[in-house]
Amino acid sequence: MEMNQVRYFLAVCEHRNFTHAASASNVSQPSLTTAIKKLEEELGGALFIRDRAGCRLTPLGKLIKPRLQKVQTETQEAKIEAIRHARLERVPISIGMGETIGHNTISKAVERFRTRLPQAEIELIVEPSDILFAGLRNGDFDIVVTAQTVSPELYRIDNIYREKYKVVVANEHPLTKLDAISLADLANTNMLDRPNCEMRDTLHGTCADQGHVLYAAYRSNRVDWLIELARQGSGAVILPETAIPAGNGLVSLPIDDVEIVRDVVALRYRHQSSRPETNELVKEMSRG
């Protein structure tokens, strides 16, 4: 079976007319008809029934159509990938980004890196932590930027920066009257909770030690949703500094009686060799 046979068959399915299908495929009708006949011989039966209205599929044609559509789709995707990589001087550096990693520091580092190496290409992919780590081990990512704690036996760990967590509320929220927010203040506020937050257990444990319980009016695994809820005045969300958008109806305030910080790191899988460009990019990130 040849790809032109698949293409001509699907063209006839679409146009239900051999003449129109040949025109759409930029081929003569005799060539298209010959290709279809050869395909029928290979598959052991007629694929079309011709009538005055044009043509329609036989039972065999109906059976084989979805399979040949899949063949064409996969072939087209393979060609697109091949063309994409042929146009590159090399495969892009793929960076897996944690969902709450702020844009500012990393984007500046990437731009400094590309200023020195303008031929380099960068992919930035945001995913949950489990997908990031699996992708790093499978070779889908060259680097993962995260605040998760990992084993140094599996990963090369380079510190990028340390940042504090702050309370984020709308401009008109009552907490904006305070210079800093205590845990007692948070306990009396509707909270916007992110169950997959790296520091969630630390925060709730500290509150419990001081006799406070945080009430989550809303929960979401998406930071952008929590930020929008905060902007609407639905409650307060605790976020790392670099994940807080500037302005746009939001105010960020420090937490008064406990310091919650995280270290953002760049990870490389120890059982996978790194390209020189990848190592240079990690160094650039580590400059802050």
Q: Indicate the domain borders of the chain.
A: 3-87, 92-288
Low-confidence ranges of the chain (pLDDT < 70): 81, 83-91, 288
3-87: in CATH 1.10.10.10 = yes
Mean confidence (pLDDT) of the chain: 87
Q: What is the CATH number of domain 92-288?
A: 3.40.190.290
Instruction: Give the integer Cα–Cα distance in Å for 153 and 270.
Output: 8
Q: What is the pLDDT of residues 77-103, one digit of tens each?
A: 787 767 655 554 556 889 999 888 888
Residue 286, phi-psi category: left (phi > 0), alpha (psi -120 to 50), beta (remainder): alpha
pLDDT recorded at residue 87: 52
Give residue for tokens 């005055």: 52
**Do the beta carbons of residue 192 and residue 235 sit within 8 Å?**
yes
Rounded distance, CA 43 to CA 39, Å? 6
Q: Return the DSSP state at 136.
A: H
pTM: 0.62
β-partners of residue 68 are: none
In the prediction, which pLDDT does 119 show?
79
**Would you call 123 helix, strand, or coil by DSSP?**
strand
> What per-residue confidence (pLDDT) applies to 90?
57
Compute CA distances 116 → 113, 120, 179, 268, whole Å. 5, 9, 42, 22
Residue of 96, 95, 144, 89 whose CA lies nearest to 120: 89
- The pLDDT tens digits for 181-234 are 998 898 899 999 888 777 777 788 888 888 888 888 898 888 889 999 999 999
**Secondary structure, 3-state, 48-107:** EEEECCEEEECHHHHHHHHHHHHHHHHHHHHHHHHHHHHHCCCCCEEEEECCCCCHHHHH
Q: Residue 261 — φ and ψ, nearest 5°?
A: -130, 165
Sign of the dihedral defined by the CA atoms of residues 131, 137, 140, 146, in that order = positive
Nearest one of 163, 131, 120, 150 to 266, comparing CA atoms: 150
Q: Please report the pLDDT score of residue 159 as a whole number.
A: 94
User: Is 267:155 a contact under the CB 8 Å cutoff?
Assistant: yes
